[in-house]
Amino acid sequence: MKTIGNAIRRFHDLTLARKMWLSVAFVSLLTLATFAALSSTQIKRLITEREGKVMVQQIEYYTSSINHYFQNIQKSAQVLLYSPDIQERFSSDMSALSGGERIRAFNEVYNQLHRMWDNLYGIDAIYLIDRYQNVFKISVEDANMPTFLTGEEFASQGWYDRLGKSDGSSYWSFVRWNDRKTSIMMFNAMYDKTDLSLIGHLVISVSPQVFDGFLSVSNLGEGTNSIVDSAGVAYTSGNGAGARSQIDLSLLTGEQGYTFLHQNNEPYMLAYAKNKLTGWTFVHSVPQRIVLKDLRNVNSLWLFFLFVSILLMTVVSAFLLRTITMPLRKMVKLVREVERGSLSGRFHVQYKDELGRLGHAFNHMLDKLQDGIPLLREKLIRSLLERNMSVEELREYERKLDFRFERPWFQVVLLYVHDVKDENALSAAERAIRDMELHGGMISDTLAANQFCLIFNCPQDEMLALLEPLLDHLRDELKLQPYAFVGNGYEDIHFVKTSFEEAKTLLKYRVGERMEEEPAILFSGASWEHQYPESFENRLLYYMDEGDFDMCAGVMEELIAYVRARSVAPSVIHSLLISLHNHMNKLLIQFGGSDRRMDDDWLDKLSARLTLEPFEKNGRDFIASVKKRLGPLIHKQIRHSPNVAKSLQLIRERFANPNIGVDYAARELGLNTNYFSQLFKREVGVGFAEYVSGLRLEHAQKQLAETSLKIKEVAEKTGFADSHYFGVWFKDNTGLSPSQYRKSVQAQPARMESEAAKSRSSAN
CA distances from 227 to 13, 171, 186, 277, 284 (A): 68, 15, 15, 13, 9
Q: Torsion angle of alpha carbons 648, 650, 653, 657, nearest 10°?
A: -120
Q: What is the mean pLDDT of the chain?
A: 77
Most confidently modeled range among 165-179, 455-469, 574-588: 455-469
Would you list the domain boundaries of the chain?
A: 82-210, 370-527, 534-634, 642-763
Which tens digit of pLDDT belongs to each residue from 290-314? Answer: 777 766 676 677 677 777 877 777 7
Q: For residue 514, give every residue at least 6 positions away whose Cβ sits within 8 Å of its Cβ, in sequence order, or none.
A: none
DSSP labels, 246-315: SS-GGG--SSEEEEEEEETTEEEEEEEEE-TTT--EEEEEEEHHHHTHHHHHHHHHHHHHHHHHHHHHHH
| Opening angle at CA 690, ends 687 and 691, nearest 5 | 85
pLDDT > 70 in the chain, percent = 77
Amino acid residing at 213 = G
pLDDT value at residue 413? 92
401 has pLDDT over 70: yes
pLDDT value at residue 551? 85
Which tens digit of pLDDT belongs to each residue from 208-253? Answer: 777 767 666 665 667 777 777 766 666 776 565 555 556 777 677 7
CA pair distance 305, 719, nearest whole angstrom: 83
The residue-averaged pLDDT of 457-467 equals 88
CA distances from 635 to 132, 363, 583 (A): 149, 53, 17
pLDDT value at residue 760? 47
Convert 716-749 to b/e letters by CB count within 10 Å (16 or more is b): bbbbbeebeebbebbeeebeeebeebbeeeeeee
CA pair distance 591, 581, nearest whole angstrom: 15
Amino acid residing at 489 = G
pLDDT-based confidence at residue 597 (cuts at 50, 70, 90) = low
CA pair distance 602, 578, nearest whole angstrom: 10
Most confidently modeled range among 360-364, 452-456, 645-649: 452-456
Most confidently modeled range among 90-104, 386-400, 512-526, 622-636: 90-104
More confident site: 82 or 591: 82
The residue-averaged pLDDT of 265-283 equals 79
Strand-pair partners of 723: none
Domain 642-763 indexed as CATH 2.50.20.10: no
Q: What CATH code would you report for 82-210?
A: 3.30.450
The residue-averaged pLDDT of 639-664 equals 84
| pTM flag (> 0.85) | no
Q: What CATH code would you report for 370-527?
A: 3.30.70.270
DSSP 237: T
65 has pLDDT over 70: yes
CA pair distance 609, 615, nearest whole angstrom: 10
